[in-house]
Amino acid sequence: MPIRRTLRVVRRQWRIVVRRARKVSAPARRAWRRSLHLRVVTLTLVASSLLVGGFGWFIADRSTQILLDRARDEVSSQMSGKVDYAVSQLTVHRTERDPKLPTTISNTVTRLSDGDPTESGGALLELRADNYPDLKPVISDERIDASALLTREMRYSVATESQVARQIRTIDVRGEPVKYLVWGSPVPTSFGHVELYYMVPLTTEDKAANEIRATVAVTGLALVLLLGLLAGLVTRMVVTPVRVAARTAQRLSAGLLDQRMKVDGEDDLALLAASFNQMAANLQRQIVRLEEMSRLQRRFTSDVSHELRTPLTTVRMAADLIFSERDEFEPAVARSAELLQAELDRFESLLTDLLEISRFDAGFAALDAEHSDLVPIIERVAERLAGLAERVGVTIELRLPDTPVIAEVDPRRVERILRNLVGNAVEHGERRPVEVTLATDDAAVAVTVRDHGVGLKPGEERLVFNRFWRADPSRARQTGGTGLGLSISVEDARLHGGWLEAWGEPGGGAQFRLTVPVRSGDRLVAAPLPLIPRDRDKAIDPTPPPTAALTSSAGPASSTGPASSTGPASSAGQASSSAPASSAAPASSAAPASSSAPASSAAPASAAIPASSALGDEPAEVL
Amino acid sequence: MKRGLLATVLAGALLLAGCGIPENTEVSKVSDGPRTGASFGQDDPPDKSTREEAGDDTALLVKFYLQAAAASDPDTSLKQVQSFLSPSFAATTLKAPTDVKVIHLIGTPLVNPGSDEVKVSALTVGVLSHNGVLEASEDKGVQTYSMTVSSITGKDGLFVTKAPPVLLLTDEGLEDYYHQHTIYFWNRDHTALVPDVRYLSADVPSEQVPQEIVKWMIEGPASWLAGAAEPLPDGTALIGNVPAVTNNKLQINLSGGSAQQPDAQAALDRLRRQLMWSLRQFLPRVLELKVGNGPQTDYESNDYYTSNASYRLAATPERFVIYNEQIRRVSQSAASTDPIPVIRPENNRKVRAAALARSFSDRGYAALVTSDAGKQALQVGSAPRGEQAKLHPVPLPGGSTGQPVWAITSDDAQTGAIGLITVGGRLYSFSPDDSTLKRVNWPGPSGLISAVSVAPDGRRLALVVNGELYVAAMTADGSGPALSTPRRVEIYRLADVTAADWGTESSLIVAGTRSDGDRVAIIETELDGARSSEVLADIGNEHVSYLAAYPVNPITQKSLPDVMEYMANGATYDIQTQPVRINIADLADPITNPPPGVIPVSPFFLR
């Protein structure tokens, strides 16, 4: 058990360490991921360090070996001469008790060290007789303590095993550590053998080895740095044009279509630049052509609308005259006159919407913002649509706060939006109440319009905002919508910097939410009301991921559709307080969706989930 | 990146640091140790007799005591002697080593039963110095040493409780415990090697003998030879030991005294000849000599033999006698049919005595003592080989004239040739180019010089003065020959000496009256008198007036010459196993009608 616990602790600590290491190394890893330059230079440095280090080690090691081998050969050859001499000198002594033996030993050491070329360099010579304790060892230089140089193993090898042996030892001589090559050989005599040790300082060799090592190290380091520098320069030569190309491409994508790369030379990079420039030129040409076409199209629509208005006015005057005189006509003619009047009304509103859309497309639409109270606006909308509501048997319930809700909005456009939303809701209300809720917080004001009609099929949340979109084109309309109402509403909301979002499910009805900032120009981060109605939210799924996706969708919106009847709004204050929290996440993710194009592109993936639970096939909107 | 770089550099530095010369390593074995190629002698030192071996025998103890000083070095010598002494006596006397006095016992030591005292009568032969020279002693006549031998309570055996405070060694002990070695020095004009006899303890192992010999040589010749023999050049020293013979080679390494001489090459050649002669007994096939910084040179031929004048002597001598006042060859000797060399036939008359010699370069020298109408004269001359010399007379002073002898026959103009002759008890020198005799000063005790003979090297003389035998070295510079302080040769066998000649390069043939009677004997003796032997123990009671021997070649190792002749009672004898008289029949040229009463006299050799 304790082991397991210990292991757990260890694992935990390990994880902490790893996490910290990751945290600490995060900038480095980021730099590693992002910079090709850095990667190439680092890899070059590492690889060249290994290579140069390996070669350096090899060279230094070989040099040292050669130096040592030379020293060994030298010492070996000298040693053999010395041993020969000592052997010959000791031949005259038949026993170790010969009283002249110590003299011979002493003289031999003196003679050998006097004739030694390395003697001035501090070489030592010692003649010992470890097998004959009565014979005192004699050393050429008494000032140096040779006992540290002659290890027990060395003496055992030479004295007991009769081997010629060597060893490297370091001792302090006058405070400086000096390396000695110790060479020992038995010296045969007629009574056994004594041992000759020759200790040669390796000062010169050591110095040479150190110099070689330092030279190799410095050269290697310089080589590595040079290689790194070289790699850096070469990579820079390649990476810089690529970076320029990347930057140019970014600018191009940001709309600066006249950005071009500099073509320098005839190499591959020049070819890349030339190709890139060609691509940019082609794109620019295409885009300009498409823009021109689009402009012409919008112009055409606008012109047509304007041009239709003049004859329409004339036709309208004539139609009004006929309509006013219809009682005097035969019933069939009178009916035609009524039909004519109705269709002319519809034609006129279609033209009005088209002109409005044209203004938006042409960028002529301007926000005329002022501090307005939204409560009367909502009430006014409900009032105007009350007739229609009554006709279709729908009650409009207003849930408005008791206090004024002041926001910096264009009241005309807000009213148009709400009229569209409430009109649509009444129209698709299926005789069930339509709830209009208003809520606000410090930053935003939200209005939701909830109906309990057929709802929306999965994916239709986006489509409802498309121009002239119909859920069921064959279905007869009770009121004549133009199919442009929600599109205009979306544009209006966008002018405010606000959101217009839809939610719906088959059989569960639909809810539209308008969110605008309290202060014009502020950026929206959250809506005070949830997009998904509270009843559906709880009924379907406590977690809101599908709706979160849905809310991001905003399509062209609909209707200026006639609102027949509007129920007075009931109080909806209770919703406003809790709404922002539950919808905070979706709202923030939907923030950029005030421009419709990117938002709509993100919709399909997220819209798929509620689709599985959607049952109804109620069209989202009607003209 | 910086960390990585740092780590790489550090790793590189560590790698590099790992490849320097290590501070300490394990012992690594290179090979098996060398095996010696030298062969060692098997000669064990002779056993020494100890005090304990003598037991309670006083005479034996005294005998052993008188041999105890024989040792290879003074300290051991003293220690051995002290082992015979009672502790209380040893504490007061003989505390430091001294030279060893070599004595010849006269009779046996006198031991009286019941008495502790022992009387030892002895002749002092000489004093054995540290360098093996048996120097002459100042003692003369028989010395009596008294000592007491007694037992000490609580200890076994006998002790010498009182003894003279000298280290004594009998000549028997010298012979038993010492080996005689002859070393050589060049004479001053580098024409021949002068032998110098030394004694080396038998305790010294044979491997060390060459080294001891070389050391002696470096120390220089014996004092009595100092004037005639040339020491090694100053600064000559032995470097290290002289190793035992290995691979049939003897290696000698000397520091460069010889090499610094002007005629370095010749000096080196002389040195090696000198060494080779001195080490002849120990010389293997090759002598490897290195002097100073010169090259190692191997010498392996026997060409060095010629440097010794004794070797240069012909194997069989050309023998001459004076017959009927004429020089005649003796039959059955070398070149017996040849004419008399150097001398013209017309000069070969009225001759009483003569000396003929031939130099190394074959120049002939002649010195004739003639007597014409009762007037004696010396005829001297020299001539190249094959030619005959024109003799010129040198007047002789009055007095009895001895046998002339050629000492130096040098081709060197400065030294020239020197002959010696005794006239009226004095020694004179003459030369072939000079018409006067030169008196040679005798530095020894005053007396009449009755005979002189010259060693083959021409530098050592044996002289008979007042019936005693002396040896002396002769120097010859421009002002004529001179003698070094002579050394008396103690010959216990003879009471007096009448004639002497050189038998070998280091021994003399001496004739004289025996010390144990009045009979005449011919003996052979070392120059230092340490050893002698009888050649002819008894040749009657006529004293020998003249003796001539032809020195033997040292290579032959003979101790006696092949040819020895003497004159006694007017007759000439050849020494064989007994004296054989030389008659007319022994002359090479047949004598028809010999005059009566005329017999061959004054035999001599072409030297």
Cβ-defined contact of A87 to B34 (cutoff 8 Å): yes
Which pLDDT band holds residue B388 (cuts at 50, 70, 90)?
confident
Alpha-carbon gap: A97 to the closest alpha carbon of chain B (Å): 13
pLDDT at B260: 62
Alpha helices per DSSP H over B109-154: none
SS3 content of chain A, % helix, strand, coil (to 5): 60, 15, 30
Q: How close does chain B come to A230, measured CA to CA in Å?
A: 16
Residues listed for chain A = 623
Residue A196 CB coordination number (10 Å): 27
Whether residue B509 has pLDDT greater than 90: yes
Structure confidence at residue B415 as a pLDDT band (50, 70, 90): low
- Secondary structure E strands in B259-346: 286-291, 297-299, 319-323, 326-329
* CB contact (8 A) between residue B207 and residue A92: yes
For residue A218 the two structure tokens come to 């410095």
Instruction: Supply the pLDDT for residue B35.
Output: 77
Structure tokens at B318: 């050309």
Determine the CATH number of domain A370-613: 3.30.565.10
CA B185 to chain centre: 11
Q: Shortest CB distance from A94 goes to which of B8, B20, B207? A: B207
Indicate the domain borders of chain A. Answer: 1-29, 76-208, 257-365, 370-613
Which of B12, B34, B246 has the CB atom closest to A83's CB atom? B34
The amino acid present at B159, given as its one-letter code, is F
By Cβ distance, the residue of A49, A87, A157 closest to B29 is: A157
3-class DSSP state of A484: coil
CA torsion A449-A451-A457-A463 (nearest 10°) is: -40
Asked whether the beta carbons of residue B34 and residue A169 sit closer than 8 angstroms, the reply is no
In angstroms, what CA-CA distances link B252 with A82, B242, B244, B248? 16, 5, 10, 13
Q: What are phi and psi of A276, to 5 degrees?
A: -60, -45
Provide the ipTM. 0.79
Q: If you average pLDDT over residues A382-407, what whole number do you get?
A: 90
The pLDDT value recorded for residue A16 is 94
What superfamily would CATH give domain A76-208? PAS domain (3.30.450.20)
* Mean pLDDT in residue range A72-87: 89
CA distance B599 to A129: 77
Chain B residues within an 8 Å CB radius of A93: 207-208
Residue B582 near residue B603, CB atoms below 8 Å: yes
Alpha-carbon separation of residue B174 from A426, A514, B70 (angstroms): 161, 148, 7
The burial class, CB within 10 Å (0-12 / 13-18 / 19+), for A553 is: buried
| CA B101/CA B122 separation, integer angstroms | 11
Rounded mean pLDDT of chain A?
80
- Region A392-409: mean pLDDT is 91
pTM equals: 0.66
B11 vs A53, A68, A193: nearest CB: A53
> B108 Cβ partners below 8 Å, 6+ apart?
B59
Cα→Cα distances B81→A315, B74, B154, Å: 174, 10, 21
**Across the beta sheet with B319-323, what order do the strands follow?**
B326-329, B319-323, B601-605
Q: Name residue, tokens 């379907």.
A: A540
Between these two residues, A607 and A40, which has the higher pLDDT value? A40
Tokens standing for B437? Answer: 């005799």
Bridge partners of A166, per DSSP, are A183, B28
State how beta strands B167-170 and B158-162 pair. Answer: unpaired
Give B296's DSSP letter: P
pLDDT of the residue at B54: 81
Give the number of other CB atoms < 10 A from CB of residue A312: 16
Residues of chain B contacting residue A54, judged by C-beta atoms under 8 Å apart: 15
> Which pLDDT value is given to residue A166?
92
* Helix segments in A555-595, DSSP class H: 573-582, 584-590
Under a CB-based contact definition with an 8 Å cutoff, are residues B381 and B389 in contact? yes
Dihedral angle sign, alpha carbons of residues A426, A430, A431, A435? negative
Q: Which amino acid is at B7?
A: A
- pLDDT, position B228: 85
**CATH architecture assigned to A257-365:** Orthogonal Bundle (1.10)
**Of the partner residues B9, B16, B240, the one whose CB lies closest to the CB of residue A213:** B16
CB contact under 8 A, B20 and A166: no
At B54, is the secondary structure helix, strand, or coil? helix
Q: What is the pLDDT of residues A464-488, one digit of tens each?
A: 888 888 776 665 455 557 788 888 9
Over residues A9-28, the pLDDT tens digits come to 999 999 999 999 999 999 99
Domains in chain B, CATH or no CATH each = 51-177 (3.10.450), 183-309 (no CATH), 310-605 (2.120.10.30)
User: How many Cα atoms within 13 Å fall on the side-chain side of residue B144?
Assistant: 5
Residues of chain A numbered 191-220 and touching chain B (CB < 8 Å)? 193, 202, 205-206, 209-210, 213, 216-217, 220
pLDDT band at B335 (very low <50, low <70, confident <90, very high): confident
Residue of chain B nearest A206, judged by CA positions = B21
Question: At residue B135, what are phi and psi to the nearest 5 degrees?
Answer: -75, 155
Q: Between residues 19 and 48 of chain A, which touch chain B (CB distance below 8 Å)?
A: 28, 38, 41-42, 45-46
What is the CB-side half-sphere exposure of residue B347 using CA atoms within 13 A?
A: 23
